[in-house]
Chains A and B, each alone.
Chain A
Amino acid sequence: MARFVMVTSSLAPGDALGNDIRQIAQLLQADGHEVKYAARANLVPDLEVWSLTDCSKRLTSKDILIYNHSLALPDGLALFRQHRGLRVLRYHNITPAELLRPYNTELAQGCVFGREETLALLAAQPAAVWATSAYTAQELQNAGAKISAIFQFHMIDELHRTPTDAVLAASLADGRKNILTVGRIVPNKAPHRLIEALGFMKAQGWPLPRLHIVGKVTPGLENYAESLHARATELGVAADVKIHHDVTAGGLRALYQNCQLFAITSDHEGFCVPLVEAMSFGLPVVALAAAAVPETVGDAGILWPTPDARVWAATFARVLRDDALATELSSRGRRRYAEKFTPEKSAAVFRAAVQVLLAASIP
């Protein structure tokens, strides 16, 4: 049995990156392997995590290093380069800098550095490269990488098992329709477009749903989060936009169960776990056909190539009033989840990738 060391910039409960890493670790442990974590920052309680400095001292050439790359981490890159054992590049995604630049030049610069580090990581010739989607795989292939496997883990099963927040659920079941979007509140995910669409719905005099925006504010992008309030006020829909920064798992389940539509207007997604969560709950999906979103949604939702607020407003109105369409989208979503994204499907791909990796480690 081997010892795997999972290196990442940060570990946080509830985010897609942290969930993916924890799921990989759990599968490896279930198969009898030892797993260690190393991160610059750890927010997961009761989890032993090495600092990157400690990691560099403790790594041996027998360890298999899985490097989770999602942003610039120079000391992580140094660790990856110096490791003499097997190295795996697990690429999540890095936001294109131009999407962040208008709001925070330093974060944008970090993305530039992150992309430069991607090239440096590939130049170090990892034994395997694991991507989260065909979209992110293509990005690496364009840089000359050979992709070993494509998979993405999530914790949807756990979400389905979590007790629903009954108070929130009751507040949603008041007869009014609700639209949900989930994801960090950042410019590249562009929830402001949903507020614009709500503004158009109001201007037409159509029944106005509530819009629930669920997501944490990224440090350094508080200005964008604040701009959402300003935009909602500007359009006269402030009372109809609910922003949930710290929703619990039970609260999230209540929202998935009691909203009537899930919408994503993101310009850049490496996979988009919330879309899969929504499909697993049978929530009709409307999404912007950008980055990895089309391959995640497939034919299970309404995909628009444009963020035009008029089109989105009309789509929301149609889905919310057309029960047959909503039912069709709901069943398509559940079917797609069952066919493509159950934990068992991802685990099978992952285990095959590990087998290939371990075979390569035999001298």
Chain B
Amino acid sequence: MDLDLVKSEILRDVFRDGMTAPTRASERPLPSGQAPITWPAQVLKEAKEAEVLTTVKTSLPKFFNPLFRKQNLVNRSLIASMRAGADGLAGVMHTADRLTNEMEVLRRLVVASGVSPDAKGLPQVRRAARIGEPIVTLPWVLKQIGRLPAGATVLLAGCMDNLLNLELASLGFKVIGVDERECGDDHPNFKFIEANPAAPPLAPASVDAVIAVSGLGRATPGAMTVQAPDEADRAAMLAWRRILKPGGAVLLAIPFGKTSSTDIRQLYDSPTLDALLKGWTVEVREFAVCSPLQSWLYPTPEPEAGRTTVDKAGRSQAVALVLARK
């Protein structure tokens, strides 16, 4: 028997005759008493203007409602279960997944989408967001950005999972985002290059600054490597140095603290950080730590940051914030 012939007959039946799609329960009218969630008119109006807003608008109720019912907003398995039911949110969640703290990017997306700050649940989301490194690292970048010349060309090593690319572009910087997947952002001052952020394919001495901070992608020194983080990170630092103009700056947020050899995530400590920055002129070397109350505190003395360890999820509880020049 010729199985290829059988397969062609099956395909012919499917595509010649067509097939009736199943009726899904969710397409049926809602039971009485179960009102659909209504959104503020302003949100609906803005939602028409951009597809991403439409996604956020239609998907947020599905995503957040179960969260409201449970108080533990940072329970990762709960978040994952929300994900399973949030088909339309897939794109947003895919972005969120790649962040150190998903809630932070969600909060930022919610704010950027124009959803009313009074929307149910947003305060909880805001509280949950404060535990992630990006709550301190991204504002720190904005704080330091004044050290760069106006309109400087800035490379974002890892640009997919943040809004920093658009924020900097909106401030007038010429932003080049390098990541392994298209981030989909569009701005006259923003250019995307699909490449390894740790080895950006740019001409030597072509950018004024390189930004690589926690939550921005895989190029963050120490963020993803298990073994010998110094080797991979030194290679990235060399690659960034090559494309920096003389006097150009690298802005880094580096997981910091003490680790044992069995920890899945290896952190930088003072000696390894010194080694990483050898040959650079360090202009800013600051630290932030996550307090036991799960709020990030900045600035924090280096010895205090150095006493922190990774938590059970492998997250660092301290971060070194460094601006160094070529």
| Contact between B97 and A314, CB atoms less than 8 A apart | no
In whole Å, how far is A243's beta carbon from the nearest beta carbon of chain B? 16
User: Is A74 interfacial (CB-CB < 8 Å)?
Assistant: yes
Give the contact-size bracket for chain B. 35 or more
Which of the listed residues A102, A116, A220, A325 has the most CB atoms from chain B within 10 Å of its own CB?
A: A102
Q: Select which of B11, B81, B93, B313 is within 8 A of A311 by beta carbon.
A: B11
Query: Which chain B residues border A203 with CB–CB below 8 Å?
Result: 19-23
User: Is A282 interfacial (CB-CB < 8 Å)?
Assistant: no
| Contact between A106 and B76, CB atoms less than 8 A apart | yes
Query: Which chain B residues border A299 with CB–CB below 8 Å?
Result: 3
In whole Å, how far is A216's beta carbon from the nearest beta carbon of chain B? 17
| Number of A interface residues in the complex (CB < 8 A) | 46
Query: Which chain A residues border B13 with CB–CB below 8 Å?
Result: 314, 318
| Contact between B6 and A302, CB atoms less than 8 A apart | yes
User: Is B1 interfacial (CB-CB < 8 Å)?
Assistant: yes
User: Is A230 interfacial (CB-CB < 8 Å)?
Assistant: yes
Given contacts A203-B21, A234-B25, whether A105 and B102 have CB atoms under 8 Å apart is yes
| Contact between B226 and A113, CB atoms less than 8 A apart | yes
Which of B82-90, B128-136, B196-204, B239-247 is found at the contact surface with chain A?
B82-90
User: Is A351 interfacial (CB-CB < 8 Å)?
Assistant: no
| Contact between A116 and B227, CB atoms less than 8 A apart | yes
User: Is A112 interfacial (CB-CB < 8 Å)?
Assistant: yes
CA–CA, A126 and B77, complex, Å: 37
User: Is A104 interfacial (CB-CB < 8 Å)?
Assistant: yes
DSSP class of A's interface residues: helix, strand, loop or mixed?
helix
Given contacts A78-B262, A117-B226, A302-B6, whether A104 and B80 have CB atoms under 8 Å apart is yes
- Using CB atoms, name the residue of chain B closest to A105: B97
- Using CB atoms, name the residue of chain A closest to B19: A310
User: Is A295 interfacial (CB-CB < 8 Å)?
Assistant: no
**Mask for A17-38, Cβ within 8 A of B = 1, else 0?**
0000000000000000000000
| Contact between A236 and B94, CB atoms less than 8 A apart | no
Given contacts A102-B97, A120-B227, whether A224 and B84 have CB atoms under 8 Å apart is yes
Q: Identify the 7 closest CB pairs spanning chains A and B, nearest first.
A: A223-B81, A199-B22, A203-B22, A227-B84, A223-B84, A328-B1, A203-B20
23 A-B pairs in the complex with CB atoms less than 8 angstroms apart: A74-B226, A102-B90, A102-B93, A105-B97, A106-B313, A116-B224, A200-B21, A220-B77, A223-B80, A223-B84, A233-B25, A234-B24, A234-B25, A235-B22, A235-B25, A236-B23, A236-B25, A302-B7, A304-B7, A314-B13, A314-B14, A324-B1, A328-B1
